[in-house]
Amino acid sequence: MSARCGFAALIGAPNAGKSTLLNRLAGAKLAIVTPKAQTTRGRVLGIVMRGESQILLLDTPGIFTPRRRLDQVMVEAAWNSAREADTILLLVDSRAADANAEARAAAGEIAARLAEGGAALWLVLNKIDLLAPHRLLALTAALHEAAPFAETLMISATTGDGVATLLDRLAQAMPEGPHLYPEDQLSDLSDRAMAAEIVREQIFLQTHAEVPYGATVVTESFRPLEDGSVRIEATIHVDRPGHKAILIGAKGARIREIGARARAALGRLLERDVHLFLVVKQDPGWHDDPRRLRALGLETPHPGGKP
Ligand SMILES: Nc1nc2c(ncn2[C@@H]2O[C@H](COP(=O)(O)OP(=O)(O)OP(=O)(O)O)[C@@H](O)[C@H]2O)c(=O)[nH]1
Ligand SMILES: [Mg+2]
């Protein structure tokens, strides 16, 4: 059997379960997951081996109507990944699309636009653990009116139902060609980037309303120590003074809890003890300024470049 290798992009509305599926397919936590929409802010590569196939999965930010410069950059990252892909998996939250005509229409619009590109377009109905099976048929029929899907799969990224079948189909669908990455590599994510993401995950889990959307995290230093542990310093940039007060909390209680949980999660991921130091900095308007977005690692200088 000859080697196969290709890109498969996970595309969909915010909260469809793209990052949960990436982690499930990769068998490792590569992308952060929270119950809030717009958690993912940039492309995340997951490298998955299945038989002779290397599947290069691209997790992407959800597609929505952008408001801020940051939102535009996020949505552009999703469309750019779709353009790079051999196969596009349009992920749909089955329960939302079943219950809500707006969610169904949004999925249809994304599908119609994706169908204009050259990649094979697959429909992946996710969260089937939340929906009675007979409802999936009507939903599939409604979405097939929006675009010609080459495959339709029904899965639960949380329980793993249907995921092995999806992986087998993807492995078969990848074009013949040499593997682009070493077979034991899981992602192109650096430990520094992962540290910032894990802190941001805790901000999304522990704060609400506009606070998580007005915050971003930068790893300032990442230093292995002689005793085998690692010392990480990170800065949380916030948009407004009120957000800084909320993130710090009464007598520093909130920032301590964010730090404690992020430290524990990072310790598990890096498999060593972590010393984590967080600083909150007021940086009004950071999310609307292309130069600062670049400096914060959120806007790539050459959008549309090969991943
Ligand atoms: N019950 C159930 N929940 C799921 C499933 N897949 C994802 N979720 C939940 O849906 C929420 C959003 O999941 P994410 O993986 O962050 O969704 P996403 O598409 O990456 O979201 P953005 O990054 O914001 O675009 C989380 O609370 C997940 O636990 C599923 O198959 N079943
Ligand atoms: Mg995500």
CA of 16 to the centre of ligand 1 (A): 5
Return the residue whose CA atom lies nearest to atom 16 of ligand 1. 33
Closest C-alpha among 111, 119, 87 to residue 13: 111
Question: Tokens 């996710």, residue?
Answer: 126
pLDDT in tens, 178-199: 999 999 999 999 999 999 999 9
Q: Are 161 and 128 in contact (CB under 8 A)?
A: yes
Pocket of ligand 1 (CB under 6 A): 12, 14-20, 33-35, 37-40, 61-62, 126-127, 129-130, 156-158
**Complete DSSP assignment for 101-126:** HHHHHHHHHHHHHHHTSSSEEEEEEE
So what's the pLDDT on residue 306?
Answer: 41
Domain containing 76 equals 4-173
Asked whether residue 45 is assigned to any structural domain, the reply reads: yes
CA of 198 to the centre of ligand 2 (A): 13
How long, in residues, is the chain? 307
Asked whether residue 180 is assigned to any structural domain, the reply reads: no
DSSP character at residue 200:
H
State which residues of the chain have pLDDT below 70. Answer: 1, 300-307
Asked whether residue 307 is assigned to any structural domain, the reply reads: no
* C-alpha span between 32 and 24 (Å, rounded): 12
Please say which residue of 173, 202, 236 terminates a domain. Answer: 173
Query: Based on the structure, what is the number of domains in the chain?
Result: 2
Helix runs in the chain, H state only: 18-26, 69-84, 94-99, 101-115, 133-144, 163-173, 191-206, 241-248, 253-270, 290-295
CA of 45 to the centre of ligand 2 (A): 12
Burial label, 30 (beta-carbon count in 10 A; 0-12, 13-18, 19+): buried
* C-alpha span between 283 and 289 (Å, rounded): 11
The ligand 1 atom at the shortest distance from the C-alpha of residue 16 is 19
Same domain? 53 vs 160 = yes
Considering the chain, what is the average pLDDT of its residues? 95
CA of 212 to the centre of ligand 2 (A): 14
Domain containing residue 137: CATH number: 3.40.50.300
Same domain? 252 vs 162 = no
Asked whether residue 178 is assigned to any structural domain, the reply reads: no
* C-alpha span between 166 and 155 (Å, rounded): 8
Same domain? 56 vs 154 = yes
- Segment (H or E) for 89: strand 87-93
pLDDT in tens, 38-96: 999 999 999 999 999 999 999 999 999 999 999 999 999 999 999 999 999 999 999 99
Q: Are 287 and 293 in contact (CB under 8 A)?
A: yes
